[in-house]
Structure 1
């Protein structure tokens, strides 16, 4: 009798530990376990079908994971989900900052000590490792000044 009661409590505990069929996982739970594009040029996308997929740079699926059991997800996305991924990728590339081209005026600008703010002389002398020829801090207030050659 004692054994059957203990067994029923243990089995009830095991049932509670098993996730329910409709449990929803977050992207943060799924994403670290997905394989990535080895070249580093790929990206991850959460589709409208509640599936997180990692793509390579040519939009081939590297890995995928469903966020819930209700979605009937296949490794390969539908045409609509693939269009979503392509649109998201193009928006991300569009919003990524690009390096500014160097103009002839940039080459003429020289490093100037007076343009550097400083709290004390040691700060100005430390700028020499960056190519400045600064030696003293001309104090404007007790904590802020300008470096001088």
Structure 2
């Protein structure tokens, strides 16, 4: 009986850890009322090229209009792996903290692209609200310098 109870609690603890890890994975999920939402490629209003270098984005300040759907063409011109995540600063900080403990993490969130050196990817985003939207690379040692702002002007 003691073995059965031990096995049950082991399985229960494994499940709790798995659920907790899944919740932590989603801690940086987008909040559509703050930062916008995944854009429809058929509704793209313009394309903006962004280069990731080692420890910076070029450009790091971008102006868009509320309601625009932007195709970000993100190219890694650095020597290290980089990502671009669009989110609130609070969520970007949480994401960077999580990346320090799990630097190999790759997200499938729509506000995220990850690139090896020389690789280029697209991120299509629809800006629903005016204000400032942040983006960053959360890889360990990158976050403090690899940040940018998207200034979303009111219609």
TM-score by length of 2: 0.27
Structure having the higher helix fraction is 1
Higher strand proportion: 2
The structure that has the greater radius of gyration is: 1
Does 1 or 2 have the higher relative contact order (CA < 8 Å, sep 6+)? 2
